[in-house]
Amino acid sequence: MASREYNIVVLGAGGVGKSAVTVQFVQGIFLNSYDPTIEDSYRRQMDVDGRSCTLEILDTAGVEQFTAMRELYIKNGQGFLLVYSVTDRSSLQELIKLREQVCRIKDNQHVPIVLVGNKADLGHARTVSFQEAKNLAHNWGTSSFYETSARTAAHIDDVFADIVRQIQKRESAAAATTEATAPEPMTPSSSSSGSSTSHGRNLSASEKQAHGRNFSIGALSTSDRRSTKRSSDRHSELPVSKGGFEKKKKKKSAGLCVIL
Ligand SMILES: Nc1nc2c(ncn2[C@@H]2O[C@H](COP(=O)(O)OP(=O)(O)O)[C@@H](O)[C@H]2O)c(=O)[nH]1
Ligand SMILES: [Mg+2]
């Protein structure tokens, strides 16, 4: 069976280890230093509960200012890793604002989110307790919280598997709702308006969101992209180019027969 794609965005304050976590997951190595201004996409295939999944991960930089680009990638992301460092209390506080932003932009309080406390190997320098962060996750209505170490790779795979499961769960719930409220089979004339699948049923708003997204920051104008440096492909496994996205988009629409 073809591998499903999941668009994941890694958010958090500078220096918490977003790039180190991403690169540890994708390439299995620990980065001692990485340009903090680099924002890049990575891909990795992983099996989650026996299903092959392709994770497309956007490692962000520069959350300090709100940019049009940030709004766009939040809109296009399906799941979000909110990363803080267990050695930096303010980085956890920063996530409270970030989560609010994500929920506002997605117009949904139940966006798939995993809270990630990184640098757990630095026990001696810890300033945020496990329980405290767990309580915050609980307030957000989720138990998806892990303490990770990009250095030792502890719980790194668990974080990504968790976010995939959350996205899958949301999509099955959306599909079930659509099935329950599906109208009678449509006549050819009625199926010509709106988005529909090959079997003639209207896509729900969430399905449209799930299938019709384009995760490409390549879709941005050059001026939008100015603020963030893009890395060379040195660290990216299968770096995502604009051309690559266009190819993927074509493949998706062929399979889904989406009529816009
Ligand atoms: N000890 C330790 N250091 C880490 C860990 N994750 C990242 N770092 C270090 O923290 C610094 C910032 O990491 P980076 O991934 O660039 O942070 P980003 O700005 O959030 O992308 C780098 O020097 C990393 O080597 C970790 O889990 N443990
Ligand atoms: Mg980084």
3-state secondary structure 11-47: EECCCCCHHHHHHHHHHCCCCCCCCCCECEEEEEEEE
Q: Please tell me the predicted confidence (pLDDT) of residue 116.
A: 98
d(CA 125, CA 260): 54
Strands 113-118, 40-48: pairing kind: unpaired
Cα 230 to averaged position of ligand 1 atoms, centre (Å): 18
Mean predicted lDDT score pLDDT of the chain? 77
Q: Rounded to the nearest 10 degrees, what angle do helices 89-106 and 68-76 cross at?
A: 70
Q: Please tell me the predicted confidence (pLDDT) of residue 224.
A: 39
Ligand 1: which atom is nearest the Cα of residue 13?
A: 20
Q: Please tell me the predicted confidence (pLDDT) of residue 190.
A: 40
Question: Which amino acid is present at 11?
Answer: L
More confident residue, 185 or 141: 141
Cα 219 to averaged position of ligand 2 atoms, centre (Å): 22
Residue nearest to atom 10 of ligand 1 (CA): 17
Q: Please tell me the predicted confidence (pLDDT) of residue 142.
A: 92
Residue nearest to atom 16 of ligand 1 (CA): 34
Write the CB contacts of 200 (distance below 8 Å, at least 6 apart in sequence). Answer: 185, 186, 191
Banded pLDDT at 65 (limits 50, 70, 90) = low
Write the CB contacts of 160 (distance below 8 Å, at least 6 apart in sequence). Answer: 8, 25, 44, 46, 55, 57, 81
d(CA 137, CA 116): 10
- Phi first, then psi: give them for residue 14, nearest 5 degrees: -65, 140
Q: Please tell me the predicted confidence (pLDDT) of residue 205.
A: 40
pLDDT digits (tens, 9 = 90+) for 3-31: 899 999 999 999 999 999 999 999 999 98
Residue 126 pLDDT > 70: yes
d(CA 39, CA 230): 6
pLDDT digits (tens, 9 = 90+) for 213-247: 344 443 333 333 334 455 544 444 433 433 332 33
Q: Please tell me the predicted confidence (pLDDT) of residue 217.
A: 42
d(CA 24, CA 7): 18
Residue 77 pLDDT > 60: yes
Q: Is 33 touching ligand 1 by the criterion CB < 6 Å?
A: yes
Residue 148 pLDDT > 50: yes
**Distant-in-sequence contacts of 222-227, Cβ < 8 A, 24+ apart:** 224/67, 224/68, 224/69, 224/72, 225/69, 227/62, 227/65, 227/67, 227/69
Q: Is 18 touching ligand 1 by the criterion CB < 6 Å?
A: yes
* Ligand that lies nearest to the alpha carbon of residue 231, given by its number in the listed order: 2
Q: Please tell me the predicted confidence (pLDDT) of residue 218.
A: 38
Banded pLDDT at 90 (limits 50, 70, 90) = very high
Q: Please tell me the predicted confidence (pLDDT) of residue 37.
A: 86
Cα 34 to averaged position of ligand 2 atoms, centre (Å): 6
Q: Please tell me the predicted confidence (pLDDT) of residue 62.
A: 74
Q: Please tell me the predicted confidence (pLDDT) of residue 174.
A: 81
